[in-house]
Structure formats: structure tokens, C-alpha cells
Amino acid sequence: MTRPTQASRTRRRLRTLLAAAGVAATALTVLPAAPAQASTPKVMIMSGTFAGYALCASPGDNWVWLKQVNTAAPDAFCLWKEIGPGGQFTLYNPAKDAVMAYTGGNEGVLVMEDSGTSPLGANGELWSWGGQESWGASALQSFWDSGQNVDAKDGFDNPRTDPVHTRGWRHGFQRELTWNAVVPG
């Protein structure tokens, strides 16, 4: 049995991502996968409260971590492709070749997984942006449960040092639940 090439694996994942993001199936048969992925800019998902901190996929495990970064020379594991519109998109990490997913529940941990494998279904791999707050950042919400927002804070008002979790908007301060998608450079 032959193994699929990286290019065909990437094309299959991109097709799954686009379908999960609500792109019509007919467009998938017309548009080649590689140019669509190439045209999507890479962004850093920067904390709205902890300056210089970004969401990063771990190279050594399947967790998502908060990491202090240099936006001029970013770590490849801190670069994401936001695939889909702001109200329903997938966060794909090319360095990890996986998508960020919500695992369910209040304070659910975020994981990196192959597209289309979430136990919560396609909506477990989708995200949305909340409205922009007065400090200029927006909540990064699970599409499966819009009450759950990506949380940058540990239990002591510091940047997290454990895998990133979600938290409800009404449970404590909100600023650490907000983020900005920033094109590095």
C-alpha cells in the first residue's frame, strides 16, 4: 500500500477545512487546494491583555500554549491561517499541520488535531470573533459554544503557563479573553 503524499494530505485537509467553514462543495471541485491555501495570509493570534503574547501550537504535544513572541521574527508554530469568515472560521497551523479545536465544557482545554476528527463534530473546530471591545481586542469564541472564550490568564492574573483553556465571559475579568489577529512583519 502506498502512503499519500504530503501535498495530497494537505489538499484533503484544506478541503475539509473549507467545507467546515461553510464553503460550497461545488467550489471545492473547481478551486485547486494549493492556491487557496497559499492566498490565505498567516496571522498571529495576539493576546488583548498580555502584550507580546500569542497563541502557539506546541511542536512536542497536541496542546495550544500562550507564548511570548517576537512579531518581527515569529515562531512558525505561532502562525495561523484563519480560513473562513470572521463569524465561523478554522484556525489552521501549517507548522503543526493541524487545526485548533475546543474540547467542550467550561474551561475546556484547547487541542491541535487533524481536521475533521473532533469528537464534537465540525463545529468543535470552528471559531468566531466577538465584537471589538473598548481596548481594541475581540473575544475569540468557540463556535460550538459561543459562551466559551479562549483564556490567556492563569489563576493569578498572569499569562498562562499551562495549556490554554476556555472560560465563560461572565466568569471574572474579560480582557484576558480577547485577542487580535495580527499579520507579522
Q: What is the pLDDT of residue 37?
A: 58
Q: Rounded to the nearest 10 degrees, how much is the dihedral formed by the CA atoms of 95, 129, 150, 180? A: 60
Q: What is the CATH number of domain 41-182?
A: 2.80.10.50
Share above pLDDT 70 across residues of the chain, in percent, rounded to a whole number = 78
Sequence-ordered strand ranges (E) for 28-175: 42-47, 53-57, 64-68, 80-83, 90-93, 98-102, 110-113, 127-132, 138-142, 148-151, 165-168
Q: 5-19, pLDDT tens digit by residue?
A: 444 444 445 444 444
pLDDT confidence band for 99 (50 / 70 / 90): very high
Q: What's the full length of the chain, in residues?
A: 185
Q: Please tell me the distance from the alpha carbon of residue 12 to that of residue 23, in angstroms, as a whole number.
A: 14
Residue corresponding to grid cell 467546515: 20
Answer whether residue 43 shows pLDDT above 80.
yes
Would you state the pLDDT for residue 172? Answer: 64
Which pLDDT score is estimated for 132? 93
Note the pLDDT tens digit of each residue in 66-86. 999 998 888 999 999 999 998
Q: Does the reported pTM lie above 0.95?
A: no
What are the pLDDT digits (tens) for 104-149?
Answer: 998 999 999 999 999 999 999 999 999 999 999 999 999 999 999 9
Give the separation between CA 108 and CA 64, rounded to whole angstroms. 12
Q: Mean per-residue pLDDT for 28-52?
A: 70
List pLDDT tens digits, range 145-182. Answer: 999 999 999 888 899 999 999 998 776 678 999 999 99
Give pLDDT, residue 173. 74
The average confidence (pLDDT) of the chain is 83
SS3 57: strand
Q: Where are the domains of the chain?
A: 41-182
pLDDT confidence bin for 55, thresholds 50/70/90: very high
Cell of 59: 511542536
